[in-house]
Amino acid sequence: MHVPRNQRILLASRPDGLPQPGDFRIVEDALPEPADGQLLLQVLYLSLDPYMRGPMDARKSYADPVPVGGVMEGGTVARVVKSRHPGYAEGEIVLSHTGWQRFALSDGASLRKLDPATAPPSTALGVLGMPGFTGWAGLLNIGRPAAGDTVVVAAASGPVGSMVGQVARIAGARAVGIAGGPDKCAYVRDELGFDAVIDHWAPDFAAQLAAACPDGIDVYFENVGGKVWDAVFPLLNEFARIPVCGLIAQYNDRPGESPGPDRLPDMMREVLKRSLAIRGFIVREFAHQRPQFHEQAARWIAEGRLRYREDIVDGFENAPAAFIDLLQGRNFGKLIVKVSD
Ligand SMILES: NC(=O)c1ccc[n+]([C@@H]2O[C@H](COP(=O)([O-])OP(=O)(O)OC[C@H]3O[C@@H](n4cnc5c(N)ncnc54)[C@H](OP(=O)(O)O)[C@@H]3O)[C@@H](O)[C@H]2O)c1
């Protein structure tokens, strides 16, 4: 009889810059047995997210570092395959945080049951999950778009950026997206309905952005940093709001390695002169708004006003390569690994 075994992907070494395949190690061991009050989960989908780069380093980010030899962390959708827990039955589908492994034990805490009849389970990792909620919460609480405002967001084809632009349009604002390459730009404009989109690989990217924002920028939702921030900054209007959500262009920088001279004094002068509101956030700050987000986003999807795209990679063992690709912009939509049928 075939006895399934567990596989886990561990952090083998801390990356020096961009992670390399050798920074990950896959190990195989026996399936754990649930004790009383526990359940055994089989992972169906593993979410790959840019924030996972932070805990690979030893320095503390907003998530604790993963120890070398520890399982890479991450959100998952899983099926209950054995239950010795009164609240869960075999066959139920849950949102969980098992990390990069095929099977895991759980005591039921922090699981959320999913109903596959109302939404495909993978959406709990993207448009209806943490990234979608991040775009919604950061834009509405900090960006506060008003009708007629110009809202700019980069990584616009991804789960955070696509939510930001579409919610901005629902709020009556003008959405300008920034994305990498013609395919992503066509998707952002034609499928997601942004008012304009600029390819950040274009040699005249900054000039194109300025032309697409003739009235300046009222809300810049910061996802990437780097050259995009440089192009956006001169265009910010008085009283512009800047939710700082992510800085993916800098995630692989070594400590103290940020390029260029120190521009902070000049930037602070402009923050003062133009009354700019720059405000960082981690989405868990808005956890209490999650039910409201879920109700709105599910309704907008049903009404055809909110669209999403998933980039599903088949095979657990392909997670490290897919994650390295994500950090270089090679994903197209919410990146998810399909682990089991
Ligand atoms: N604060 C929070 O609580 C929170 C929560 C979730 C996510 N985030 C942040 O939100 C941002 C978007 O996340 P996501 O899950 O929606 O990611 P995503 O869009 O699916 O993927 C990341 C995208 O970033 C762009 N990118 C990668 N490297 C870049 C570079 N060097 N310069 C410019 N763009 C680059 C690429 O898009 P293009 O090819 O189109 O450039 C890439 O596809 C990330 O910074 C993430 O860390 C923050």
Which two structure tokens, joined as six digits, stand for 229?
């921030």
Ligand 1, closest atom to CA 50? 47
DSSP string, 182-208: HHHHHIIIIIS--SEEEETTSTTHHHH
pLDDT tens column, 117-166: 999 999 999 999 999 999 999 999 999 999 999 999 999 999 999 999 99
> Beta strand 236-244 with 277-280: parallel, antiparallel or unpaired?
parallel
Asked if residues 324 and 251 have their Cβ atoms less than 8 Å apart, the reply is no
Q: Check pocket membership of 177 for ligand 1, CB cut-off 6 A.
A: no
Ligand 1, closest atom to CA 333? 20
Q: Check pocket membership of 52 for ligand 1, CB cut-off 6 A.
A: no
Q: What does the pLDDT profile of the chain (341 residues) look like in tens digits?
A: 677 899 999 999 999 999 999 999 999 999 999 999 999 999 999 999 999 999 999 988 777 899 999 999 999 999 999 999 999 999 999 999 999 999 999 999 989 999 999 999 999 999 999 999 999 999 999 999 999 999 999 999 999 999 999 999 999 999 999 999 999 999 999 999 999 999 999 999 999 999 999 999 999 999 999 999 999 999 999 999 999 999 999 888 877 777 778 889 999 999 999 999 999 999 999 999 999 999 999 999 999 999 999 999 999 999 999 999 999 999 999 999 999 98
Query: Rg (Cα) of the chain, in Å, rounded?
Result: 21
Asked if residues 122 and 95 have their Cβ atoms less than 8 Å apart, the reply is no
Asked if residues 99 and 73 have their Cβ atoms less than 8 Å apart, the reply is yes
CA of 312 to the centre of ligand 1 (A): 17
The domain 6-123+310-338: what is its CATH number? 3.90.180.10
For ligand 1, atom 2, which residue shows the shortest CA distance?
282
The CATH 3.90.180.10 domain(s) of the chain lie at 6-123+310-338
Question: Could you tell me the CATH superfamily of domain 130-287+294-300?
Answer: NAD(P)-binding Rossmann-like Domain (3.40.50.720)
Length of the chain equals 341
Asked if residues 151 and 218 have their Cβ atoms less than 8 Å apart, the reply is yes
Q: What is the pTM of this model?
A: 0.96
Element (H, E) at 227: helix 226-232
The CATH 3.40.50.720 domain(s) of the chain lie at 130-287+294-300
- Determine the Cα angle at 7 with ends 4 and 100, to 5°: 135
CA of 157 to the centre of ligand 1 (A): 9
